[in-house]
Chains A and B, each alone.
Chain A
Amino acid sequence: MTGQRPLPLADETSAGFWDAARHGRLAIQRCTACWRWNHAPSLACPACGSFELCFEQVSGKGRLHSWTVLTDVPAPGFRERLPLIVGVVELAEQQGLLMIANLLDAEPAELRLELTLEVTFEQVTEDRTLPQFRPVRH
């Protein structure tokens, strides 16, 4: 235990997602048979069952589907990050395409459904970067 946040351990299925994040790109898994997007990455397409999946870069735009505000540490490494906002983000590419991220540069009081968000990247260690989201400011 290092007191760090837990680091994602990429595997054969998820490597494309984390590799892209390390290069500052949000890439989401896509089925080459039915062309549905899928997140989190899985071995087979949950829509059609195909094993032929690839990763494709997405716009990084999304809307807020739901959220929770944590004022109690969920794990040791989050002590300095409270209150921590966890957002359920619906990506622009497909209805119901949801991913989890922290909402950065956001105040709990401004959160509402459908708030427009954009991806941002937080480098956590030398070789690990988390895709995160923040409200779009005009």
Chain B
Amino acid sequence: MWEFSDKVAVAGVGYSTLTRHSERPLARLAVEAVDAALSDAGLARADLDGIATSPAMPRYGGAKGTVEGIDVVTPWHLSELLGAQGQMLWTGSTNGMVTQAFIDAAMAIASGVCRHAVVYRALHVPAGRYANFESDFAAGADQFTAPYGFSGPASWAATVLRRYFELYGYGREDLARYIVDNRANTQLNPNGYWRGKPIGRQDYLDARMIADPMSILDCDIPVDGCAALLLTSTERARDLRQKPALLTGFAAGTHPARFGLPMTLEDIRIGCEQVAERLWNSSGLEPRDMETAQIYDGFSPFVFLWLEGLGFSRKGDGLAFLREGHGSLDGLLPINTGGGALGEGRLHGMTQLAEAVIQVSDRGGERQVPGASRAVATISNGLAKATGFVFSRDG
């Protein structure tokens, strides 16, 4: 078990507005989210002494924007905008995913390097198509994918979903219940991009294909926006405005994707199982201790593959679990209770962390899982850079 289990807490959650194309620059949205997290915790900018993110723009093909404040917001730039540069004792910037920056921040708090750390993820939607390989030449790993039209992450996920369907005898109709119920959860989430737009089963079945069998409703929507989480020690958090969400354990995965083949069903399985084993060891808990699961849903197949990898269902049964409604808000294990990234917008796992925090601190309002005292959150597709977390209610 992790030595600092339950000694680090999330004390504040903050969101900027989430829109498709904001008129305000990304830097302003990042400031808005950090201020919201601080205010949620009852803190001010002057209290901040730690800051971290993973700033890169995750664009595939096309030009990857690098303009500070517009395409990306590095922690150094954001510290300056917050007028807090001189007081930062710890600055973290990882080239992995932001959820690894969250682990770094938790360790910075646990070790006493800083007292109040904010972890944020600011994402910008560039002009033009998000996944569109516009170069004449494909180099590096791209030379084995892009010349074949296999350059978009949705098409990679499509080969995983197709193989799962074929091996276990499922079809898109088996995913409909989850997608529809997930959108219903979004209606209860004030931050949800798709709030106000419920869908029905037929909408899912008729949805436009991005890469068969992945439809547009199986992919999270890129947004302009930022989410921020404020970490501090549990002891300190108890004096702040909100009930703390305790970080009980975490894990980071290291199973690599193959060069030139970004994901396969088999690699995802190995990776999810590795993260799960590390997570249950770190937290000293097991699947049956969890009352809700916040599972990364950048692409819908990851949801049931994580369920299987984490041990909530057997191999090949994960999609049946969703089909039977066990993951719905009133099901056995409510999943992505705020609508996940499919409903809220693409924030690279911040959605899952924030919702786990909200649930164990009893702040879910209409979407609260009654009495939820433990939440598991997993991010990414299980391969290297994937992470898992267990959050617990205080007391």
Contacts and interface: CB of A to CB of B under 8 A. Distances in A.
Interface string B233-267: 00000000000000000000000001111001110
A36 B266 CA distance: 19
B264 A98 contact: yes
A26 to B, nearest CB: 13
Interface in A4-61: 4-11, 14, 39-42, 46
Contact of B136 (A1, A67, A99): A1
B145 A100 contact: yes
Interface stretch (B51-59, B208-216, B221-229): B208-216
B159 interface: yes
B149 interface: yes
A137 interface: no
Interface in B273-292: none
Classify the secondary structure of B's interface with A. mixed
B214 A74 contact: no
A49 B389 CA distance: 32
B150 to A, nearest CB: 5
B160 interface: yes
Contacts of A130: 147-148
Nearest to B261: A98
Interface residues of A, number: 44
A72 interface: yes
B326 to A, nearest CB: 27
Given A40-B141, A98-B258, A5 B149 contact: yes
Taking each of A1, A2, A5, A96, which has the highest tally of chain B beta carbons within 10 Å of its own beta carbon?
A5
A124 B148 CA distance: 11
Contacts of A66: 159-160, 162-163, 166, 264-265
A56 B142 CA distance: 22
Contacts of B141: 40
A68 interface: yes
Given A88-B261, A113-B166, A74 B159 contact: no
Interface in A74-112: 74-76, 78, 81, 84, 86, 88, 96, 98-102, 108, 112
B138 interface: yes
A8 B143 CA distance: 4
B319 to A, nearest CB: 16
Given A67-B162, A75-B146, A102-B149, A113 B135 contact: no
A69 interface: yes
Contacts of A102: 148-149
B67 interface: no
Given A4-B136, A65-B163, A86 B148 contact: yes
Interface in B121-161: 131-152, 155, 158-160
Contacts of B211: 68-70, 72
Taking each of B136, B140, B145, which has the highest tally of chain A beta carbons within 10 Å of its own beta carbon?
B136
A40 B260 contact: yes
A68 B134 contact: no
A6 B260 contact: no
Given A40-B144, A75-B134, A130-B148, A69 B259 contact: no
Given A1-B136, A40-B261, A96 B212 contact: no
B115 to A, nearest CB: 43
Interface of B: 61, 131-152, 155, 158-160, 162-163, 166-167, 208-214, 258-261, 264-266
9 contacts: A1-B136, A5-B147, A65-B264, A66-B265, A68-B155, A68-B159, A74-B151, A96-B266, A102-B149
Interface of A: 1-2, 4-11, 14, 39-42, 46, 65-76, 78, 81, 84, 86, 88, 96, 98-102, 108, 112-113, 124, 130
